[in-house]
Amino acid sequence: MAGADPTAAEPAEEAAPAGTPLAPMQAAGEAQVAIHTRGLTKRYGDFTAVDSLDLTVRQGEVFGLLGPNGAGKTTTILMLLGLSEPSAGTARVLGLDPARSPLEIKRRVGYLPDAVGFYAGMTGRENLRYTARLNGIPRVAAEERISALLDRVGLTDAADGRVETYSRGMKQRLGLADTLVKDPLIVVLDEPTTAIDPTGVAEVLELVRELANGGVAVLLSSHLLHQVQQVCDRVGIFVQGRLVAVGPMGELAEQLGGGPLVVEIMPAGAPTTAAETLRAVGGVTAVEPDERDPRLLLVTATRDVRADAARALAASGQPPLHLRRRGDELDEIYRRYFAAGEERAA
Amino acid sequence: MSAESTGLAVRRPVKKSRDRRHRRPPQLVTYTALDPDVRAPRQGWRIVAAKEFADYLSSVRFVVLALILGLAAALAVYTASAEIRDAARQVSGHPSLFLALFTIGAENVPAFAFLISFLGPLLGIAFGFDGINGERTEGTLPRLLSQPIHRDDVINGKFVGALSAIGLLLAAITLVVAALGIVQLGVIPQPDSILRLLMWLVVAVIYVGFWLAFALLCSVVLRRAATSALVAIALWLVLTLFSTLLIGLIAGAFAPLTADPTPAQALANESLQVQLGWLSPSRLFEDATSALLNPSVRTVGLVLPIQADRAITSILGFDQSLLVVWPQIVALVALTVVSFAVAYVAFMRQEVRA
């Protein structure tokens, strides 16, 4: 089914595992879709690297594909670029099937591989020139674009030095310039912040944001959550080949479901009296003092009780000084998803 | 499910799907409009080949190989020209003094043609052993493959680029040798001799191409450049140094010779040896060389005394000499094509990631 024609998929709805029409259709108010996959699967023998992945990335959006190493992120990317055949499911990049029109896709998708490398004996500029030639960009236009890009990533001074003299961070920046040489509609960055210093990370992320603001769709794969959370419009948590949750950062916790909701509260008065008040709030199942900080109370509830808890505390004359829902932070979400993912796999 | 059982409700056709999790409400998808003017280059392999060629010309290995081969060739031709002067005094009317430059060796100094037959493989190996795995270790392969070129453009471009550099090197050295010879001997080459030399050059490039393709195969299959170089060199040594020995052994096993072999036994053994020689690129190249560079060679391979009896020694024209070794040349092309095809298939089937 991997090679199914988008137009042919419609009448075959009965049989196709991905019954949704993939053909371009008019939709009012919907952002244009850059990447769309349905049940995308890659198996190596008995091992399933990517397990029926459903993914949608729109133009102008930064989508973070987050997961531990070996989760299948790079495999997914390779399938999107037509560099690896899917075992099942469909993928559409810019409406094209990667298995059928890889060149059209690769002409418009900039890909920064994990641990990107350059020809060490050539200069940075020569490396970019080669990429421009491979993309069929006319010489004069390419020269201008390369100079502009080198300037943008701050490599103008080093541009005519051999790449073997570059630092890791410089190579990473050259890699970013390299993905942009073809003026892509989609940029796929595989672990772009690994092995570079914090300043470099900030620069890379700033560039990513700029790209998205310019209408480019960015698919960013990373295992370093803290670094990328700030630029991602939406993230997908990818564990052992499965996308366990997708959505904007704030919504991920709700998607997790199942797990209890924990709110930490620092009341103005004595924690014990505040605890009594909080237990009376509907939906609260337990109130425990925090082990590390005795001033904090951890309220476990079946629903979001923040507003009610604050009201109740204020009414009883112990207004909360601090109130925060635990699990809002990416790291905690991530840890929970990882646990969930591993349980499912077990 | 009750609505479904009545079959009356207006609904989308609900299939009895085995994997229900794939069923989703229809989602409207508008894909990004594509600019039809943005196109991938038509011949990606040319771009790869041009880059590889330029890379090789400025590489250290090219300069070193050019120096070594150049020096060896100069020595060979210098000795040869001295030999020829001695020989020419005795045998006036040698078919082509000019070509003799390339084929006459002396004690301790091999002839130029033999030099190429011996060192040619090394040339091919040196230009191919890290073709693919070098890109892998440098981390440039995923980047290269994510550009709008076909996957085979990479290996085709590498082969063509390297073979062009090899061709240039061989042609340059041959020309230098020819020039030195002209100066030393004062012989102006005849058109026939020039044709022969050009044809020999083409065959030499094909011969080196076999080893280039084999080295590329090693670089596809083996992850480390050092391992790939060692394997390629090992096979070269086995085939070049021990091929005669190996062929003799195999022929001895299948067509054994007794202490006092009958003519039939000897013939069977010899024929088998000749046939096995078809698998040895260096044997094929040497056969082709002998006829191409020597107009008086009328046959290569097995000649029975009865066939040679009362043969009139005469000189062949270029086309006739070419006919004599045409099978050898075709076999050499075939070996090179097979060698490259194996490398090609191995590369195409490989996953991008290790």
Question: Looking at the complex, does the CB of residue B354 fall below 8 Å from at least one CB of chain A?
Answer: no
The answer, for A130 touching chain B at a CB cutoff of 8 Å, is yes
For chain A, positions 182-221, list CB contacts with chain B under 8 A.
182, 185, 217
CB A339 within 8 A of CB A264: no
B352 touches chain A (CB under 8 A): yes
Instruction: Decide if A52 and B21 are in contact by the 8 Å CB cutoff.
Output: yes
DSSP3 helix / strand / coil % (chain A, rounded to 5):
35, 25, 40
Q: Does A17 touch chain B (CB under 8 A)?
A: yes
Task: Give the minimum alpha-carbon distance from A236 to chain B in angstroms, rounded to a whole number.
Answer: 18
Pick the more confident residue, A46 or B105. A46
- Whether the pLDDT of residue B167 is over 90: the answer is yes
Cβ separation of A83 and B27 shorter than 8 Å?
A: no
Are residues A134 and B148, on separate chains, in Cβ contact within 8 Å? yes
Interface check for A34 against chain B (CB to CB < 8 A): the answer is yes
B29 interaction partners in chain A (CB closer than 8 Å): 21-25, 27, 33, 36, 56, 92
Per-residue confidence of chain A (346 residues) as pLDDT tens digits? 344 444 443 443 333 343 344 334 334 345 788 999 999 999 988 899 999 999 999 999 999 998 887 788 999 999 999 999 999 999 999 999 999 999 999 999 999 998 889 999 899 999 999 999 999 999 999 999 999 999 998 899 999 999 999 988 889 999 999 999 999 999 999 988 887 888 888 888 999 999 999 999 999 998 887 777 788 899 888 888 888 888 887 677 566 554 567 888 888 877 888 888 888 888 888 888 887 788 888 888 877 788 888 888 888 888 888 887 775 555 566 666 655 554 444 4
Averaged pLDDT, B267-279: 85
- How confident is residue B4, by pLDDT bands cut at 50, 70 and 90? very low
User: Considering only CA atoms, which of B159, B152, B98, B95 is closest in space to residue B127?
Assistant: B159
Domain residue ranges of chain B, discontinuous segments joined by + = 41-241+278-299+312-349
B306 and chain A in contact, CB less than 8 A:
no
d(CA B128, CA B212): 5
| Residues of chain B above pLDDT 70, percent | 88
Whether B156 and B48 have beta carbons less than 8 Å apart is answered as yes
CB contact under 8 A, B29 and A33: yes
Q: Provide mean pLDDT across the span B326-331.
A: 93
Model ipTM value:
0.81
Mean model confidence pLDDT for chain B:
83
Among chain A residues, CA nearest to B136: A117
How far is B10 from B149, CA to CA, in rounded Å?
Answer: 49
List CB contacts (< 8 A) between B142 and chain A: 83, 111, 113-114, 116
Q: Which residue among B24, B59, B146 sits closest to A106, beta carbon to beta carbon? A: B146
A103 interfaces chain B, CB cutoff of 8 Å: yes
Q: What is the pLDDT of residue A133?
A: 94
The 10 Å CB-count burial string (b at 16+, else e) for B250-279 is ebeeebeeeeeeeeeeeebbbebbbebbbe
Token representation of residue A34:
């850059």
In this prediction, residue A1 carries a pLDDT of: 39
Sign of CA dihedral A12, A13, A16, A22: positive
Q: What is the pLDDT of residue A327?
A: 58
Dist CA A192 CA A115 (whole Å): 8
Chain A residues whose beta carbon lies within 8 Å of the beta carbon of residue B154? none
Task: Report chain A residues whose CB lies below 8 A from the CB of B13.
Answer: 13-14
Choose the closest CB to A36 out of B29, B42, B147: B29
Check if the beta carbon of residue A24 is closer than 8 Å to that of residue B30: yes
Is pTM, for the whole model, over 0.90? no
Q: Cα separation of B195 and B188, whole Å?
A: 14
Nearest to B138 among A34, A94, A117 (CB): A117
Residues of A within 8 A of B33 (CB-CB) are 32
Residue whose pair of structure tokens reads 């709008």 in the numeric block:
B148
Contact A135 B41 (CB under 8 A): yes
The verdict on A120 touching B (C-beta cutoff 8 Å) is yes
What letter does residue A233 receive in the DSSP assignment?
Answer: S
- pLDDT over 90 at B208, yes or no: yes
